[in-house]
Amino acid sequence: MKRFVLAITGASGVCYAQRLFDCLKPNAELHVIVSERGTELLNLELGLKVSYFSGDHVTVHKNSRINTSIASGSFSVDAMIIVPASMGTIGRIASGISETLIERVADVTLKEKRKLILVPRETPLSTIHLKNLLTLDQAGSLVMPASPGFYQGQESMDDLVDFMVARIMDQIGMAQNLMPPYKS
């Protein structure tokens, strides 16, 4: 079973994280971390409340609790996905600040040369945002802006969410049947 860290931060688009969680849950060990602002966005956009628990190969960690196994480089994960990734979190990771668990695990993921996928959502992007994204790209992370395509007959918001989640699943090597490969 593959092992992933799924981090949810305070940007719009927490529906991507919820869908990714639902798709990964049956076949992966999941470690979920939600930032304080991410908690607010989950409530605001989806009416969801975060509860902390461990069981059934899912653990929800407190972002304030950095003294935990997943904060160590010896805890091997297949990928960390930050979706949605706020510009605040991106800036702090790009600066090497690893104060919260999300920032620390991202820092460790980069230093251990593991896969770090960032799904930012902000518009427009400032020079600072762009520089931070470039820094993280150059440090080895993969930047996948939350920008679904409209060319495969998408009819609903769910289809647009699935487009992004399918691309993330492809990147982390998880089989998906949400969206077939593009055919002309």
Q: What is the residue whose two structure tokens read 């992966």?
A: 28
Name the minimum Å distance from CB 11 to ligand FMN. 3
Q: Work out whether 61 is an interface residue with ligand FMN (CB under 6 A).
A: no
Between 84 and 174, whose beta carbon lies closer to ligand FMN? 84
Between 38 and 148, whose beta carbon lies closer to ligand FMN? 38
Among 37, 142, 143, 154, binds ligand FMN (CB under 6 A): 37
Among 2, 12, 145, 176, binds ligand FMN (CB under 6 A): 12
Phi–psi pair at 26, nearest 5 degrees: -65, -25
And the tokens for 51?
């509860």
Measured in residues, the chain has a length of 184
Name the minimum Å distance from CB 13 to ligand FMN. 7
Name the minimum Å distance from CB 127 to ligand FMN. 15
Other CB atoms within 10 A of residue 156 CB: 8
Among 5, 6, 7, 11, binds ligand FMN (CB under 6 A): 11
Q: Where does the chain have alpha helices with state H?
A: 14-24, 36-46, 87-94, 101-111, 127-138, 157-171
Which residues of the shown chain bind ligand FMN in the complex (CB under 6 A)? 9-12, 35, 37-38, 44, 86-89, 121-122
